[in-house]
Amino acid sequence: MNSSRRTFLGRTGRTLGAGLFFTSLPSFTKGKHWTAASDRINVGVIGTGGRGLNLIETIAEIEGMEVTSCCDILPFRLERALSLCSGAKGHADYRALLEQSDLDMVIVATPLNTHFDIVKDSLGTGNHVYCEKTMTFTLEETKNLKSIVQDSGLKFQVGYQHRFNPVYHKVLEYIKGDEFGPLSHIECYWNRNGDWRRPVPDPKWERVINWRMYKEYSGGLLAELTSHQLNIVNWMLGSVPERVVGFGGIDYWKDGRETYDNIHLIYDYPGGLKVSCTSLTTNAEMGFQMKFYGKNATIELTRENNYTARLFVEPTYYQSFEKSSNAEVDGTTGATELLQKGEPITIYESAPGEEDAGPTRDGLASFGRDIREDRIPEVGYDSGRDSAICVALGNMAMEKGTVIHWKDYV
């Protein structure tokens, strides 16, 4: 009997009999907090909108890190942020924040078009930088940031918190296994049913608060949502796409927005592996979901109240196994009985309610350790660069309505 089949179906059989199947997780998933190895890391947060406030609240849970200054051009947002940080200093201009001599690290949580300048200035004043995704707005900025990061000698991480979520490590473990078969297609969905707008207390703040809607500031759905999934795909595959084609439009929300309310793209990776990406604002079916298609099985990853990864074995693979099986593997009978019914096998399920809170906390805590221990960040410039290029070329493909080749721009 083929050893890979024995391993694959034997493993899933044991999974069904003994509850969810977990293996040891990377060190960053062990424990909610971490202990400071030396002095406290003083953090300045630039941009205190929804994401900035979330990061401020998260840092409060991490021992050895403290927000000591905040900056925002909107007074009411800055006031809210300062109410969460006892004793923190407030600034309306980020350059004033960077003049503080007691800072160690800066978080950049501002509109995408401002990332490059703020990151450059923050590194230039001797601060380690945690920059929210997408890393940079334009291809030129992406290329120019490389030398700035390298020459600074400081730590730089991009806020792709999904990389610190153990569900993706579990999925990758199965994909890399001999039993899964060659991976040929990945589908990414991030659908919502709503206009994606935020309330504006005064019309003069419309473009500042709803910057995601305007091309001057934002890369739209691709930069703000799908970028996370592309970062995961690039990491899992260890490569970048060779070309991309796509379509998008402002087809429903006729409210003055400039970025698309729906996007549909296909990225073509080396070896012919295709990655399709869809993001809607008019229908929430599929929600957040990724599907990984192998020759022998499919993995479906979903996020609702929690993250769940389920494995579906291909009927042809099961039938081949059944013909060659003499019930030599413990648990095989139970597994094949369920597989005949087409039942999925849960390979990972997170605790309800955590969603991205845990990975965000772990990503920030990991960056703190990188600073203290002089380690290379898990999601540094190279990872941020590849994702930023995917976003820029994807938006270009939709704008031009043509196939865009990576080699022509990078």
pLDDT of 167 strictly over 50: yes
pLDDT of 329 strictly over 80: no
Residue 343 has a pLDDT of 79
pLDDT of 242 strictly over 80: yes
pTM of the predicted protein model: 0.87
In terms of domains, do 173 and 292 share one? yes
Check if the beta carbon of residue 173 is closer than 8 Å to that of residue 299.
Answer: no
**Average pLDDT of the segment spanning 268-275:** 98
In terms of domains, do 156 and 246 share one? no
For residue 367, tell me if it sits in a domain.
Answer: no
Question: What's CA 183's distance to the chain center, in Å?
Answer: 21
For residue 363, tell me if it sits in a domain.
Answer: no
Q: Identify the band that residue 8 occupies on the pLDDT scale cut at 50, 70 and 90.
A: low
In terms of domains, do 323 and 230 share one? yes
pLDDT of 346 strictly over 50: yes
In terms of domains, do 65 and 40 share one? yes
pLDDT of 41 strictly over 70: yes
In terms of domains, do 403 and 290 share one? yes
In terms of domains, do 82 and 177 share one? no
For residue 94, tell me if it sits in a domain.
Answer: yes
Q: What span, in angstroms and rounded, lies between the C-alpha atoms of 220 and 384?
A: 17
For residue 216, tell me if it sits in a domain.
Answer: yes
Q: What span, in angstroms and rounded, lies between the C-alpha atoms of 97 and 395?
A: 33
For 81-96, what is each residue's pLDDT tens digit?
A: 999 998 999 999 999 9
For residue 357, tell me if it sits in a domain.
Answer: no
Q: Identify the band that residue 315 occupies on the pLDDT scale cut at 50, 70 and 90.
A: confident
Which residue has better confidence, 104 or 27?
104
For residue 371, tell me if it sits in a domain.
Answer: no
In terms of domains, do 200 and 259 share one? yes
For residue 221, tell me if it sits in a domain.
Answer: yes
The residue type found at 325 is S
Residue 321 has a pLDDT of 54
φ/ψ of residue 174, rounded to 5: -70, -40
For 196-241, what is each residue's pLDDT tens digit?
A: 999 999 999 999 999 999 999 999 999 999 999 999 999 999 999 9
Residue 331 has a pLDDT of 40
In terms of domains, do 315 and 258 share one? yes
pLDDT of 409 strictly over 50: yes
Tally of domains in the chain: 2
In terms of domains, do 310 and 333 share one? yes
Residue 156 has a pLDDT of 98
Residue 71 has a pLDDT of 98
The number of C-alpha atoms within 13 Å of 62 and in the hemisphere containing its C-beta is 28
**Average pLDDT of the segment spanning 362-384:** 97
pLDDT of 16 strictly over 60: no
Pick the closest to residue 139 from 109, 117, 106, 116 (CA basis).
Answer: 116
Print the domain residue range for 171. 3-19+163-351+380-408
Q: Residue 393, Cβ neighbours under 10 Å: how many? A: 25
In terms of domains, do 62 and 136 share one? yes
**Average pLDDT of the segment spanning 307-333:** 66
pLDDT of 100 strictly over 60: yes
Task: Choose the final residue of a domain: 138, 161, 184.
Answer: 161
Task: Choose the final residue of a domain: 101, 130, 161.
Answer: 161
Q: Identify the band that residue 357 occupies on the pLDDT scale cut at 50, 70 and 90.
A: confident
What's the CATH number where 385 sits?
A: 3.30.360.10
In terms of domains, do 71 and 203 share one? no
In angstroms, the Cα distances linking 174 to 154, 168, 170 are: 35, 10, 7
Task: Choose the final residue of a domain: 161, 188, 219.
Answer: 161
pLDDT of 366 strictly over 90: yes
What's the CATH number where 150 sits?
A: 3.40.50.720
pLDDT of 328 strictly over 90: no
For residue 136, tell me if it sits in a domain.
Answer: yes
Pick the closest to residue 100 from 115, 111, 87 (CA basis).
Answer: 87
In terms of domains, do 33 and 13 share one? no
Total number of residues shown for the chain: 410
